[in-house]
Amino acid sequence: MESSWVTDFKENTLYRIDESTRMVEIAFAKAASYTQPNPFEDIFWKRPNNASNSMENQILHLCGNMTQYVISSLGEQEDTRDRDTEFQIAGSYTKEVLLEKLKTTVAAVKETIINATEEQLLKKRDVQGFHFSGMGCVIHAVEHYSYHTGQIAFWVKQLINSPLGFYDGLDLTIKNDE
């Protein structure tokens, strides 16, 4: 039987991963409906500036990071990540292929988290030059996914000059229970 904190940790991290995936899908759908002055593919591969990455690079980077931190480290698989390549690719993938790559990676990440034992979550390991527990690896991956999801959302909002409606239909003014 799994400890209650392990179950709670898994449920909450899986929820956050699903939220980021949902938001990326909404952002891509909104961007795809925007065609003026450029078709979506041009927007998808465009870098906001030389210090920033395209949405394509963001997705490749997220897949690489989640694979390294969760699938490879927590899941005790070989680390085959080539981080530099994630940022060098330009215009190589369609939106559909990248979304499928993201969904496939997320599914493997979620499966790894679901199957992780308490011992794996507590075990310390070296990942990308850092020393984290398995739980720390999951927290990093979830936070990193959320961070880049926000960058994608911001970039799409800039391009289409419209809200993305992530929480349409929800009353976000409800106060906390006391």
Assigned CATH topology for domain 4-160: Four Helix Bundle (Hemerythrin (Met), subunit A) (1.20.120)
pLDDT tens, position by position, 114-134: 999 999 999 999 999 999 999
Give the model's pLDDT for residue 145: 98
Q: Whole-prediction pTM value?
A: 0.91
The upper half-sphere exposure of residue 34, i.e. CA atoms within 13 Å in the direction of its Cβ, equals 23
For the stretch 120-158, what's the b/e string if a residue is b when 16 or more beta carbons lie within 10 angstroms of its beta carbon? bbebebebeeeebebbbbbbbbbebbeebbeebbebbee
Average pLDDT over residues 50-64: 91
Question: What is each CA distance from 67 to 8, 130, 137, in whole angstroms?
Answer: 22, 16, 11
In the chain, where are the structural domains located?
A: 4-160
Residue 33's pLDDT band, with cuts at 50, 70 and 90, is confident
Look at residue 164 and tell me whether its pLDDT is greater than 60: yes
Token pair listed for 96? 């559909």
Give the model's pLDDT for residue 138: 98
pLDDT tens, position by position, 66-77: 999 999 999 999
Look at residue 89 and tell me whether its pLDDT is greater than 80: no
Give the model's pLDDT for residue 35: 61
